[in-house]
Structures are given as structure tokens and as C-alpha cells.
Structure 1
Amino acid sequence: MAKIVAWADHRSAVFGRRKRARQERWQFMRSSTPVEIPVAEGAPVKALELQYERYQGEWGRSPKQTVSIVFEGLDGALRHTMRLQDQRPVTPDLLHDPNAWRFAQYWPFEKAVDLKGDILPDEAVAIAQMADISRDGREWQQARAARVASDLMMHEGNLWKRDSEPVWRVQMQAGKGIVDYGRANTTKSGAFIFRIDQQTAANDLAKQLTLKGRPKLNSMRVAHLDSAYLTVPEAGATLETAAMALRSNLRKLMSHRKVAEELKPFEQSLLSAWASGDTADVIAALQTLLRVYDGIYDPRYDDRNSHSPSEALCSWSVLLQIGLEANLIPTTLPGETTIGRLDEVADDGLAELGMDL
């Protein structure tokens, strides 16, 4: 496959003492990193179309209209064109243009400008201002630039970005099984993931999860599908997904030292259970961790969740147990799964730089 090389400008940092300064601090600068971008083979096609009905005007007093969500497929993946705020397509040369940073919603990366919008000093200028550099974060940040660019592809001179694949997310709230439309790469809440073409299986699991009332099923339907552009595994969510989702929810709570000290032994128990490969032991360790979490939770730790996670505890317990009985969770964990990488590699790199997400 043909590839082009483009230069991507982004924010980088070094830690050290500036000239005539007494204390060490972070010095931000603009770095340029070469990235390889493949050129698409063939023209984009309509790979997926979802439809749902909604009222045109006042709810219940006007006719419904059909709304379509269309995903384009390009070179084996769902993709969309990158555009600036004025809807102009993004070209590879704009990755090197500090005045075009407003397309950053498609480029999840440190911008090459400061908080006021001013262009940061060039890397050579910033380092020349340093008298002593004790730690340098450029190598990791440049590797991240290359990783972010791996989702890009050029077609007819414009950049396309890989779309996160839509899926059905099955979870439990207030004793009811719920089927939500979401994205495959989100781990913020506990849910079983089903591929977009497995809506029937998602509905069946939601019915099993419902302890009272009726399940809440999604009324969205798949109008067109080309399975060649779907990459999410056909099997339901694994226990690893559940554990990573739980760890994601605990990250902010763990940032408080006293809470982290209290939860750390139970995290170690989870790691030990995971190493044993026995699913029942892992589920028990997860539920124990949730009970401790529920006992020390304080809404002040997280403004987004102002309620106690007692309900979430019940939901997780039922969700995991039914998932095990429905063969959505393997009895024995595969050898390649790991829970040791509790945080993403990007988080580790930011921690090394003295920053956090």
C-alpha cells in the first residue's frame, strides 16, 4: 500500500531549570513529528446505515419522521472525513499548520498552542532557554503522535479518520435490562458489548437481566450493513472488558491517597485472581472490590456521580453472574488476556511527565 509522510505539529514538554531560574518546572514547546499516512485503495462505500423514528414537532402530537445515521467504509474500516470548523476538508499539510489547530476534535493530541491560543516556541528555542534538563518527554509524545496518526488515511488528497464502531451496550439499571446504542471503545460503565448486527442477542440478554418490570430495548434498527467493515469480535463482552470498565470508574476515586491505600489490597486480590485464570475467583474479587468501594464512596470524589454506587453493585453482581451462565464470559480466562495493564499506556506516559488526563 502506498504511504505518504506528513509532519505533525503538537505540544511537547521538557522538565528542568530555565536559565536564571531557581526551580525546575515544565517547559512546553512545539514539536514536529514525521508520521506515515496510508493512501486508501478504492472508493468509499456506504458500509452501515441505522434508522430510528422521532417526532417532527411536539411529542405525541405530530407525525414521526425516519432519521438515518450513515457510516462510510474505506479500506476495511468505518471512517469519516476530517473537516475544519468551516467545513473545509483537512489535508496532510494542515497537520503541520499551527493556525489550523481547531480541527483538534479529530486529532486527540496536545495542541501546538498555549491556553491563550498563541503558538508555542519551537523545540530548539525552548531547549536553548534551559540551563538544565532533568527529564525529557519528547520521545514518548512523538510515539503517541505516530499512534494517533495510525487511525488516519488519505483519499483524494483529504484525510479520513477511523470511526469507533457502533455497538449495542447491554447493562442493568434499577432492576431493568437496558440496550443502549454506543461505541465499542468506551469502558466508562459496566456493560456487555454486542456487535451492531447482533441486536437480537442483545435484546435476549437484556430480558435475562430484568428483575422487575419490562426491559428497555432500543428501537433503532439496522437498515443496511456490510459486515466486511465490522471489526468488533462477534462474541459478547469478556470479563476483561468488565474489569477494565470497573478500573476506569475507580481511577478518580483512587487519586485520593487515603482511599487508594484502602482499596490497594483488594486490587491486589483482583490481580492474583486474574493470574489464576479462574473466572469464579475473578468475579468474587470484583464484587469484593465493589463492596469496599461502595462503603467508602463520597460524592465529593466525583461530581458526575452524586449517588451511592449500591445500585451499581447489585447490577454488576447480576450482570457478571448471568454473563457467566450465558457463556458470555469464559469459564477459564484465555492466556493472552491481562488485567495487569490497569491504565492505558498514555496514562503512564502522562504520569511520567507529571501530568494526568
Structure 2
Amino acid sequence: MHSALVIGTGLMGTSVALALRARGVSVHLRDVDSTAVRTAAALGAGDPHDPAEAVDLAVVAVPPPLVGRVLAEAQAAGTARHYTDVASVKAEPRHDALALGCDTSCYIGGHPMAGASRSGPLTARADLFEGRTWALTPTADTDTETLNMALRLVALCGAVPVVMEASAHDRAVALVSHAPHVVASLVAMRLENAGERSVSLAGPGLRDLTRVAEADPRLWIGILSANALAVADLLEELGADLDQMIEGLRSIATTDEAKRRAGAETVERMLRKGQRGRGRISGKHGNQPEHFEVVTVTIGDQPGELARLFNDVDKAGVNIEDLRIEHATGRPTGLVHLSVAAGLAAQLSEALQPLGWRRH
């Protein structure tokens, strides 16, 4: 791939552009929001002007309801030799493309399983897709050359391709992304009118559970609208599970010993099923779950402290496999939980202590 046009310079589009630019691809940028284009260009994502001739690949990075129309317009103008998108649902954009008479032989749907709670070009990163799964959903007549071009895009972005059928993709993301987002938002809703003292007790568990609720609701109404039935079906199943859990908890609260035991068995059984389900989620960057040890250190709120910690960890010769930051409510300190390979926690702790880091 020598040239590309990215249509839509939000988080996903700008991240694609940055990744391609980092690997020597000539990238052009287009967006109805001129400010977003200028911002993406200033970040080094590409040329804010349309290409003078057809590019190798056009990447449509707009909300799902707009993909069909934008694709049709780009094809009518002869913008590229091949086309793909990065929308989080696949069946509806494909249906729209067919209805608008798009040439689906040179088009393949795509969805990188990566993102952030904040949108816009300023949140974009060239390494956003490193090691992440990237679903590709070819049509019945997608040309082999177009599939190969999409695979090249995925490779240049450092992602792992998975080819699947569009409707199967939509059912899968309803399970692993869309329904969980709704559940996180419903839990976060309970906090809106809660007392200040209650909210002050929030810990890392609640923060992790509700993190995705920070995302822009305007973006998510487009995503959920395009996959509404699959998400509704899953939430209905979840509702039945909630009813069962509620019944079990109410039984535990009774004075009838037999009901208490039965309720406890129900609750424990469901918690264990949840534990087993959680264990099926892949570990870092799509690999199988690994056992890591965690070193937790206290960090101040001064600028540059996190960078200093990373530098000191690097000096210790230990690789950070994952990390989580827990901010202390109402205090100028926080906790950084560093996940390292098994057997390295003691080595890292000993290296950090003389440098002034306090292990929690």
C-alpha cells in the first residue's frame, strides 16, 4: 500500500492515519469538520487535502448510519481502488451500501476492536491497534485483491485479522461490547443522584465497571441503533438472570433457614459462572490469560511523576505487562498497580524502594 485516504478524523480515523504514516504510507485526510481535519493534520496524521488521483485504499471512519452514504459518494468520485470502513457494526452499513448501489466487489467491512472513552483526533494514537483483533467482513462478491489490501491495512496497524460474516460479527460485538456498555451506563446512572458521601466511597472496582460510561452518548446512540435487536436480546437474557439473582438475595434475607440456604446456593452458583466466564477473556493484546504479579506504589499528583516511575521501572530491567491507576478521592495522591511477569515483583520492589517509591 502506497497511498490512502481516511474519511473521518475522529479517534479511529486519525489513529489509522497515524499508524499508516508511521509506516511510510502517503495519507490524505477528509472530514466535514474542518477543525478536526486541521487538528489531525497538525498531529502528523496526513495531508488535509484530497488526493490528486485515486489512492490504493479509502478508509471510511464515520458513524455506522453514515457509512453507506459516504462510501457511495467516494466510489462515485473514483476516490480509491479499494474501500473499507471501521464502523463497530457491519450488517446495517452493508445493507445501506447495497441499497445505494455501491460496488461491493471493491469494498470490505472492517472493525478494529480498540478505542477509548474519549473521542476526537486529540485522543488518537499510532499504536491504538497494536495486538488488537480487527474483524473483516467481506461481502459475497468482495474481490480477493480488496481482501488482501484490507489485510495489508491490518498488518500495517499492527492488529490481528479475523474474517467473519457480518451478522455473526454484530451478534458477537453485542455480547462483548454493546450490551456491556449499556450495563455500565445503567450502573453509572445510579450515581447521578447519590449522596456525596456514598460516591466518595467508590473504589477501583466501580471505576473499572463504569469506565466506558464516559463515552459520548451521541456516538453510542448511533452504534446501538445499528445493532438494537441483538443488544435488546442480550439485555433480555440479562434481565432474567437479574430476576434470579434478586430472588436468591431476597431468600438469603429471610428467617427461613431452608430458603436462606437455597438462596445462598443460587447466588454462589451464579457468581461462580461469572468467574468462569471472566476467565475466558483473553489477556494482554489478545493472548491467552497469563499470571502476573502486581506491584502497587503510591504516586504524587505532580507533573512528570508517572514518567519518572516508568523510567525507574525501565532501569530495573522489568517490563510492565499492564497497569491500572487508582486516583485517591479528594487527595493529591494515587496508586499505580503495575502488572509484571511472575517472579519479578520482588526484584522490582527492591529496585524502586531506594529511588523513593513507596510500595502500597
User: What range is the shorter-chain TM-score in?
Assistant: under 0.3
What is the TM-score when the length of structure 1 is the normalising length? 0.25
Higher strand share: 1
Name which structure has the greater RCO, CA cutoff 8 Å, separation 6+.
Answer: 1
